[in-house]
Amino acid sequence: MADDLGRRTTRHAVVIGGSLAGLLAARVLAEHAEKVTVVERDRLPEGPEARPGVPQGRHLHVLIEGGQQALDELLPGFTDELGKLGAPKMGIPRDMVQWQNGRWFRRSAATAHFFTGPRAQLEWLVRQRVLADPRVELVEGVETVGLTGDSSRVRGVRLRERGAGVDKKTRTLAADLVVDASGRSTKAADWLADIGAEAPHEETLETGLAYATRVYGSPVGGPDTDALGYYVVPNPSQVYGGVVLPLGDGRHLVTLSGLRGDEPPVEEGAFEEYAKRLPHPVIGDWLARAEPESPVYGFRKTANVRRRYDRPGRRPAGFLATGDALCAFNPIYGQGMAVAALNAVALRRALADPGRTPTTRVVQRALLDSSRQAWDISAGADKKMPGATGDAANPGPLDRAVGWYLGRVQQRVAGDPAVGAAFRAVSNLTAPLTSLFAPSVARAVLFGPPVETPAEPPLRREA
């Protein structure tokens, strides 16, 4: 069979992993394959509940506008359905009290919006929509332990049942295409080595960021405010972060973050005490008036990791990687769910491109390109953090020049609505990085002084 992933030559596609990236990939592949099988390690809940296979699932998740647009393209009407389920939609900067780089943001008109409901709710809605397609089959409670085929072509996967008292023998599931959507902890390097192929080079950048999250009920009493959330953003000179966001049911998720050696604790009482490290007591005061409704959950795997399948190497046709299995980001930037959806849009466009044969290499490069801006944002910011390590941590001459310019952008984001709007569009993956260098933005950044911002937390929106 020729290495052509579209044009109906793929009779059966297997997707490893039933999370967002895997489900959305299956949605696209169903347009080209006769059958798509999604292989998932977990037994999935019937409703919008958390599951063990999403270790970050209990922590904050936001669906930024780039992800909203991609999901509506893949699953028309999706964001309307998400809103009807009660997922809060926040306008930025209007609805957020935010501190960054020593300045409080003006709460001017919103130029970007994101959803803040539970990750499990969003994933459940995607699952309902994707699995309604009769061409997509879900196999639960089964883990992938290897690939079949050789270094020239993957021909399927080796599977093993999970759980007590089950037969642990492996079985083979044949496929014309295998997509790895197994997440940050993918075993693809081992799977490829076992069939005589080469693993991709991994680019890494780690700051040692660690965070902890707890659910709280709405606070009682306190200052009069119309803010829906609070955000203290860390930077190289102030490494502690804190964020409060609504879940949509009267509860809020609160996350505190720090770097290696001074990680936020998960012990009872110590979480609230850690909030005193933040440069302003606004979040600590909020915590003092709110009632905790869950244990504290910690998370430590926050490195940026990019697997370069686009580089030369002995790799088989018929094998693709997507989502965190391809490019995983520091979760503090809130890009993961959006990039999973953007990867699926890129997969759809590459498979349907009438001007180019969708070979494995061509399609894989399109998937990587769709995550490039998110990588540039996440890795670019993390390079500046103290103690950053990894082979992507050293800035080059161009990084230093761009960093100088972006530093001036950051000084103006809090107060200048035009610069802020451009910056938020880039951060939300709805505009390219080059838009920050547009003439109107560049004039304000290079020649205009920073606009005055509030001296204290702005508890009310601007009129």
Tens of pLDDT, residue by residue, the chain (463 residues)? 357 776 556 799 999 999 999 999 999 999 999 999 999 999 988 888 888 777 677 888 999 999 999 999 999 999 999 999 999 999 999 999 999 999 999 999 999 999 999 999 999 999 999 999 999 999 999 999 999 999 999 999 999 998 766 677 899 999 999 999 999 999 999 999 999 999 999 999 999 999 999 999 999 988 899 999 999 999 999 999 999 999 998 999 999 999 989 999 999 889 999 999 999 999 999 999 999 999 999 999 899 999 999 999 999 999 999 999 999 999 989 999 999 999 999 999 999 998 889 999 999 999 999 999 999 999 989 998 998 999 888 877 778 888 899 999 999 999 999 999 999 999 999 999 999 999 999 999 999 999 999 999 999 999 7
Burial of 153 (0-12, 13-18, 19+ CB in 10 A): middle
Strands (E) across 181-296 are located at 201-205, 210-217, 229-232, 241-246, 251-258
* Pure H helices in 155-278: 188-194, 270-274
Residues 6+ apart with CB under 8 A from 337: 20, 61, 62, 63, 67, 119, 122
- pLDDT, residue 169, reads 87
* Pure H helices in 85-150: 119-131
Rounded to the nearest 5 percent, the helix, strand and coil shares of the chain are: 30, 25, 45
CB count, 10 Å around CB of 114? 25
First-last CA distance in the chain = 64
Rounded to whole angstroms, how far apart are CA atoms 330 and 337? Answer: 12
The angle formed by the CA atoms of residues 321, 326 and 332, to the nearest 5 degrees, is: 145
Considering Cα of 432, then 437, then 438, then 441, what sign does the dihedral take?
positive
Residue closest to 378 by CA, chosen among 319, 439, 332, 445: 332
Sequence-separated contacts (24+) of 45-50 with Cβ below 8 Å? 45/120, 45/124, 47/124, 48/85, 48/118, 48/120, 48/121, 48/123, 48/124, 48/125, 49/120, 49/124, 50/118, 50/119, 50/120
- pLDDT, residue 1, reads 38
CB count, 10 Å around CB of 110? 17
Tokens representing 419? 């610069």
Residue environment code for 252-270, b if the CB has 16+ CB neighbours within 10 A, otherwise e: bbbbbbbbeeebbbeeeee
Rounded to whole angstroms, how far apart are CA atoms 306 and 363? Answer: 16
- pLDDT, residue 7, reads 53
Residues 6+ apart with CB under 8 A from 332: 209, 211, 234, 241, 257, 302
C-alpha distance from residue 134 to each of 27, 130, 176 (Å): 11, 9, 19
Q: What is the DSSP letter of 19?
A: S
The angle formed by the CA atoms of residues 415, 420 and 425, to the nearest 5 degrees, is: 170
> Same CATH topology for 12-61+121-204+302-378 and 209-299?
no
Residue environment code for 198-209, b if the CB has 16+ CB neighbours within 10 A, otherwise e: ebbeebebbbbb
Residue closest to 228 by CA, chosen among 236, 238, 218: 218
CB 422 within 8 A of CB 431: yes
Considering Cα of 359, then 37, then 115, then 383, what sign does the dihedral take?
negative
The CATH fold of domain 209-299: Alpha-Beta Plaits (3.30.70)
- pLDDT, residue 398, reads 79
Rounded to whole angstroms, how far apart are CA atoms 172 and 180? Answer: 16
Count of alpha carbons within 13 angstroms of residue 1, beta-carbon side? 20
Where along the chain do its domains lie? 12-61+121-204+302-378, 209-299
Strands (E) across 129-240 are located at 136-139, 142-149, 154-161, 170-174, 177-180, 201-205, 210-217, 229-232
The CATH fold of domain 12-61+121-204+302-378: FAD/NAD(P)-binding domain (3.50.50)
Cis ω for the linkage preceding 118 (within 30 of 0): no
Rounded to whole angstroms, how far apart are CA atoms 174 and 157? Answer: 7
Which contiguous run of DSSP H or E holds residue 84?
helix 78-84
